[in-house]
Each structure stands twice: as structure tokens, then as C-alpha cells.
Amino acid sequence: MSPGSRPRYGILLPKRNARPSTKRTSAKRRSIFPICSSMGKIVSRWSGGVHPIFAVLFRLPSVYSSPHGKGDGFEMVIPLFGKKDRGEKKNGSEKSEVLFEKPRATAPREKGAASVIDVGVRDFETAVLRRSLEIPVLLDLWAPWCEPCRRLSPLLERLANQYAGSFLLAKVDIEKHAEIAMLLRVQSVPTVILFKDGRPVDAFMGALSEGEIRRFLERHIVLKKASAEEEQPGGLLEQIGRGEIARARDLVNETTSPPDRLRVLILSGDTNKSRTLLQELKGKEGAEGDPVLESAERLLGFFEEESPESLRIRESLRKNRLRELLPELLEKADDDSVRRRLLDLLVLMGRGELADEIRTRLARRVFS
């Protein structure tokens, strides 16, 4: 990088990674590495603590920590875009300025453009950062030797093609492009990062199920299928979150993931099919610890008790009265057993208008 030129993006790394300096510096000094141009070289130093133009990149416990935090957790932040900082020494020996400029948008996405692309160091800025200004970009960092990557990649590619136009899947082979993994501080693969508006907004690690990936995406993206199905009044998960289970059942088809199908079956009171499907899902790798499967198993066990309360709840679900049932359970939420049933139902519903409203009301009731 030529003297005086400025990188477009950067990562703020821990103090312990800073290059030794002969000058006396603040204890809060950090090293800034570029993410695109001049990959891997220190391009600037800046002292005086965490500048307000920087924002925390991820919120993953034990993986990423706030730049204000302490301990061995490492810091990874990306700058917000802005103008030069107000602070500048008169002698010009040290400046404190924004080193990163907002990328310019590229040409609009053409119809029929690929939904899955391979990305390397040279095209990372254009294919990921700039492209994310016009469409969300899901960055999949993987390796050929990684078994979980082999399970996750087909799911990501299927969703990218199924919801073509809703987001772009960009794949990075860290064996070929180790610089990207190093600068993003990737500790394990697969690691998946979602970029929007030129910056990362969320991430996950490990091989999630298809339903979990959908829920991850729906926190930030309105998913629209690349077919006539997008004309439906809301997708499957949206209808479940609203408590419209009858409509959700109409949307279930051969492409629906088994966990999402299980949610619909239980919330509609179909215990026989639910039990069969649950046993199939529990036998698959990665099923242990899945909150949807755990809540489903607890509810099915509760229904098998055939107590007056379990019969009443199951009958309400069979009659498509979930929207009426939830407020009734909320009124009895002081009872631990009722509250557990309500929480399990909310887990199966996921996020949505009705589910979020009940969660908020429940929190107020519990902590008031």
C-alpha cells in the first residue's frame, strides 16, 4: 500500500497482537489490519481507546467479546462509516481519523444471476462487501477436510437456490484463502457470517439444521421463494409465529424441513405423526440439544399423561385454537408446570407477531 493511502475496511485486533513500537503509547492502543487491500499488513496505529466510529461485529458468547471487555476473549470490530474525527494534533505527528470508506454500490443484480458463488482474497471486497449493499450476502467459510462442512454446504446451497434473490451465498475455501480466515479470526469451520449494508450483522458456527438456518436468516432477511409460492400470504414460519397453524399446514409440502413439519404437527395436535417424526429426527446426528426437538418431546410426554389439563390443551390445538390457548396459559403462568408448557409452545412457534407478544407479556409477568 502506498504511503498516505487508506484501506477501505479493517479489523480491530487485541492489544497483544500489536507490533512493538519504540514510541510511548496509550495502554489502549490497538493494531488495525486491512481486510482487503494489502492483506495482512499493519497499515495504521491509533491510540486513545475505542473510537466511537467502531461497532461490535458479533455477539457470540466465548467467541467474540465487546471491545470494552477484558480477559482472553478477543475483540473483533468493524468500523461504522463516517468522516474524519474531530481530534487531530496540531503538529500533525499523529492523527485520529476514519480509515475506512463506505463502499460504493455495484450494478443492480441481474435476473438469473447465480445464487451461489466462490470468493477469494482478490474479489472479497466486490463479491461480499460491495454486493451486500444491494442484497444480503451469507459468507460460508469451509474446508475440504471438514466433515460438518460437507453436511452444512448442501443445506446452504439449497436454501440459496430456493430463495434466490433474497440473499447471495458466498463460499470461501480457507485452505486456498487462509488470509480471509485469519483476519476474520475464524476459530473453527464451518463458520457462517451474514453481511448486510457493507458490514457483518450476525454469525453462527457449526452444522445447523435446515430449520435453524432458516430461523437465523429470517432474523435479518425477508425470505421469498423463487417461484409462484412467494405469492402466498406469508411463509410457513411466519404463519406459525402468528399462530395461524391451519394456514401453516396448507404450506407444508415435500420441501418443508422435518423439524418445521414437526412443529406444525404438534401445534395442530397431531400426536401420532409427531411421535413418529420425532423418533426419526432424534436418531440423526446433531439432534442432541436441539431446542425444538427437546420442547417437542416434553410436550408429547405431557400429552401422553392424559390428565385433564393435557387433554384440554391437546383438544385446543386440534381445534386450531392456539391463538386463544396462549392467553389462557399466560393467565396461569404463575404455576410452574403451566409456564413450562407455555414456554415449550413458544419454542415451537419461533418468532412472530403473536409469539413475540406472548413472550413479552410473560416476561413482564414473571419479573414484575
Residues taking part in catalysis = 146, 149
Q: Which residue do the cell numbers 413458544 mark?
A: 346
Q: Can you tell me which residue has the cell 423418533?
A: 279
For residues 152 and 115, give the distance between their C-alpha atoms in angstroms, rounded to a whole number: 16
Q: What sign does the CA torsion over 368, 296, 191, 140 have? A: negative
d(CA 8, CA 58): 20
The letter for the amino acid at 301 is G
Q: β-pairing, 77-79 with 54-56?
A: antiparallel
Among the listed residues 244, 248, 251, the one whose alpha carbon sits nearest the alpha carbon of residue 229: 251
Other C-beta atoms closer than 10 Å to the C-beta of 280 total 11
- Taking the C-alpha atoms of residue 337 and residue 313, their distance in angstroms, rounded to an integer, is 13
CB 41 within 8 A of CB 34: yes
